[in-house]
Structure 1
Amino acid sequence: MSTSSSSSGGTADLVMIPLASTAAQMLRVTLSGQSIQIAVRQRSTGLYADFWLANTRLLSGVLCQDRTWLVRDEAIGLPGDFTFADTQGTQDPTYDGLGSRYLLLYRAGWT
């Protein structure tokens, strides 16, 4: 599923990454022509994500917060960035709302 969002440079396409409402999960998706693996896990201090590109872990233990970019730096090596969006407010994501209330979105490229 794709959605559009306005940014300072115009319209950027955001791709929704399907997540289940489970406390720990791992999935592999193809984004920007690259195989990316994402692990998401709930801990007592919040929801955390890890990212791999072509079986190489590039980021670990990234705290997931509402509308905050998770990668933030092109030098990490991922082809774009990820963010969670709360569809019912501005709460940080928790596992029980993943895929419904809390959406994981991907934006290709770096601006």
Structure 2
Amino acid sequence: MNAVQIPLAATASQTLNVVLNQQLVRLDVYQRSTGLFMDIWLNDERIVAGAICQNLNPVVHTDYLGLGGDFVFVDTQGSDNPTYDGLGGRYVLTFAESQ
């Protein structure tokens, strides 16, 4: 399995563009009172909206959307769900390609 780390900043709301599996992917990551959430855009089409971000829990959960893998947040210091203030440090976002 090939995995890549996605660089995030410790800000409450951010958007970044990455190329994964030779496709343009836009990530909108934002903090709400109920947790950290993410929208995923593939080639300018939103394929996931308002997904809760939890420690070690895949964000997309399905292959049929054409992403070719899934995003997973990892708590490098324990087992807490991610919060914006630990992004890019304690909480790491990875993308693992499907096999």
TM-score band by shorter chain is over 0.9
- Scaled by the length of structure 2, the TM-score of the pair is 0.97
Residue 29 of structure 2 aligns with which residue? 40
- The alignment's C-alpha RMSD in Å is 0.8
* Amino-acid identity (%): 47
CA drift of 1:76 comes to 2.0
Give the corresponding residue for 1:87.
76
The answer as to whether partners of 1:58 and 1:77 remain within 8 angstroms in 2 is: no
Distance in structure 2 (CA, Å) of the matches to 1:92 and 1:77:
26
Deviations 1:78-106 (A, max 9, x none): 12100000000000000000001000000
TM-fit CA distance, 1:31: 0.7
Larger RCO: 1 or 2 (CA < 8 Å, sep 6+) = 2
Structure number with bigger Rg: 1
Q: Provide structure 1 residue ranges, at least 5 long, that are not aligned to the other structure.
A: 1-11
List gaps (5 residues or longer) in structure 2. Answer: none
Q: Please give the residue correspondences for 1:49-88 in structure 2 after superposition, counting only pairs within 5 Å.
A: 49-88=38-77
Question: Counterpart amino acid of 1:62?
Answer: A
Match for 1:32: what amino acid? N
Question: How many correspondences in the alignment?
Answer: 99
User: Structure 1: how far apart are the matches of 2:17 and 2:70?
Assistant: 15
